[in-house]
Amino acid sequence: KERCLETRKIYSGRVVALRIDRVMLPSGRKSIREVVEHRGAVAAIPVKGDKIILIRQYRYPVDEVIYEIPAGTREKDETPDETMARELEEEIGYRAGKLTHLFTFYSTPGFTTEKISIYLAEELEPVERRPEHDENIEVVEVEKERIPEMIKNGEIRDGKTIAALCYYMLGAG
């Protein structure tokens, strides 16, 4: 296991913080680790009959409009369940009568602490959509049978979305 010798926070923002750690490797050599600290996120597979509700939105870091499942960053004092319920209302305008935690994973453990909890959202009831001021989201209902092809042909390219949908399509959800 690596041992931290020194840590230096170099940035702290609304979504992430960045620190540089000097570490001692098991071999006795020293190295540097750049770590993006993140509070964690949630995402859900909203199922409505034989359809899955996806969103399409522009993502500035990759300069593309992409398909995703509804997701969001946890607020400081929220439980993952509370964050997920809020995000479903904000992004797609539904409340889940049944919200089931499926699994939690590290998004990119080589450089970030971010963990994403994946949920299955069922028994959807329409509510007023409340998108955040900086979100421009298109809600898209997709036939379940189209999902594997959308992943194979690159229409769906977001990692958390692919992981969640593959898990669900394999019958694990």
Q: What are 24-74's pLDDT values in tens digits?
A: 999 999 999 999 999 999 999 999 999 999 999 999 999 999 999 999 999
User: Could you report the per-residue pLDDT of 68-98, keeping only the tens digit for each?
Assistant: 999 999 998 899 999 999 999 999 999 999 9
135 is catalytic: yes
Position 100 pLDDT exceeds 80: yes
- Active-site hit among 2, 135, 143, 145: 135
pLDDT given at position 136: 86
pLDDT for 76 equals 86
Q: Given this model, what pLDDT does residue 131 score?
A: 73
CA dist., res. 24 & res. 160, Å (int) = 32
pTM, rounded to two decimals: 0.92
Q: Residue 55: CA atoms inside 13 Å, Cβ hemisphere, count?
A: 25
pLDDT, one tens digit per residue, over 110-140 is 999 999 999 999 999 999 888 777 778 999 9
Q: Are 58 and 64 in contact (CB under 8 A)?
A: yes
H or E stretch at 160: helix 159-169
Supply the pLDDT for residue 171.
84
> Is the pLDDT confidence value at 13 over 70?
yes
Phi (first) and psi of residue 110, to 5 degrees: -75, -20
Q: How confident is the model at residue 173 (pLDDT cuts 50, 70, 90)?
A: low
Mean pLDDT of 145-151: 97
